[in-house]
Structure 1
Amino acid sequence: MTSPAFDVESFLGQSLTARIATYGPTVRPVWFLWEDGAFWVLTGPWAKLFDHVRSNPRVALVVDVCDIETGLVRQVIARGEAELVPFDVPRGRRKLIRYLGADESRWDARFVHYLYDDPAERGTTWLRLVPDALTAQDLSYSVTG
């Protein structure tokens, strides 16, 4: 990867929604955690994403922003083979806090159960993508007027 004009680590540390594409093609929005050089996406047997990755692990993922008022346009595109790995609660908590805030009492119940139910019983799994290719671009423009 060539060095973009912005801090990719800080960009991926924001509470942004990514879109992940699987073979088919199928594209879906996901919350993610960028940690240890990998994208981490919560999934399980209840989700089509889980089945798609089990049948063909090649995926592409994009995280981007486009603000027409300020001209800020940035994107990170990752490609590679995803793997389904066991869910761990500490990482799950970090991911959910990132999107929902630290006060778990304010979270919708559908998110709380990921931290307190038995992941093996529910089938909660991580989709982990260590990118084979990662492209970051700053396509920002000046707004006049």
Structure 2
Amino acid sequence: MSATQRRGRRIMMTDAERDAFLAGRRTCRVATVSAEGRPHVGPLWFVWDGTSLWLYSLTRSLRWAQLLRNPGIAVVVDDGVEYGELRGVELSGRAEFVGEVPRTGEDHDELGPPERMFAAKYFDLDTLPHDSRHAWIRLTPDAVTSWDFRKLTGA
């Protein structure tokens, strides 16, 4: 990651902790901004490959339309109920559209690994079924911030 987290180093996740956390969570919240500056936040499934967050989004969604106009994106994945259990990761940068839109399953070298990960994580399958309604967004973050409040309590 190009940006280093400055505050909260005591509760910051290591790279291995971050990777394990992201692999174990199913839903993220994706923030985009309209042309008028209105924010929109919505839940979405994702996979993390250790470098990039891959989002499989409906192409006829507000999220998709906003990212076409403004590729700035922020994503939060978090967990915990009580204060001492809170942990999460925020990733931000520019969205990139990868592959055909909508995705029909044409061969695409970059999409093989995330599609296999996504199929296994969400469908317990080896290959991802394509519905011609979704397509891939890749976020290779410019900034990553993480927190794990369990480190404050020694959990």
Interval of TM-score (by shorter of Structure 1 and Structure 2): 0.7 to 0.9
Q: Which amino acid aligns with 1:39?
A: L
Task: Name the structure 2 match of 1:139.
Answer: 149
Distance 1:85 1:103, change over 3 A: closer
Corresponding residue for residue 82 of structure 1? 95
Q: Where do 1:63-142 residues align within 5 Å?
A: 63-68=77-82, 71-86=84-99, 88=111, 90-102=113-125, 113-114=129-130, 122=132, 124-140=134-150, 142=153
Question: How big is the shift at 1:72?
Answer: 1.8
User: Is the partner of 1:10 in helix, strand or coil?
Assistant: helix
Contact 2:75/2:91 (<8 A) preserved: yes
Find the counterpart in structure 2 of residue 109 from structure 1.
none
Gapped regions of structure 2 (runs ≥ 5): 104-110
Instruction: Give TM-score, length-normalised by structure 2.
Output: 0.70
3-state secondary structure, aligned to 1:92: helix
TM-superposed deviation, 1:47: 2.3
Distance 1:5 1:132, change over 3 A: closer
Runs of 4+ in 1 over 4 A off after TM superposition: none
Asked if 1:54 corresponds to 2:68, the answer is: yes
Match of 2:65, SS?
A: helix
**Equivalent-residue separation in structure 2 for 1:102 and 1:71 (angstroms):** 36
Question: Which structure 1 residue ranges, 5 or more long, are not aligned?
Answer: 105-111
In the alignment, the residues of structure 2 paired with residue 101 and residue 53 of structure 1 have an alpha-carbon distance, to the nearest angstrom, of: 29
Provide the aligned C-alpha RMSD in A.
2.7
Q: How many residues align?
A: 129
8 Å CA contact 1:15, 1:99 repeated in 2 = no
**Deviations, residues 67-113 of structure 1 (Å, cap 9, x unaligned):** 33x94211101111111111535522321321232488xxxxxxx64
> Normalization by structure 1: what TM-score?
0.74
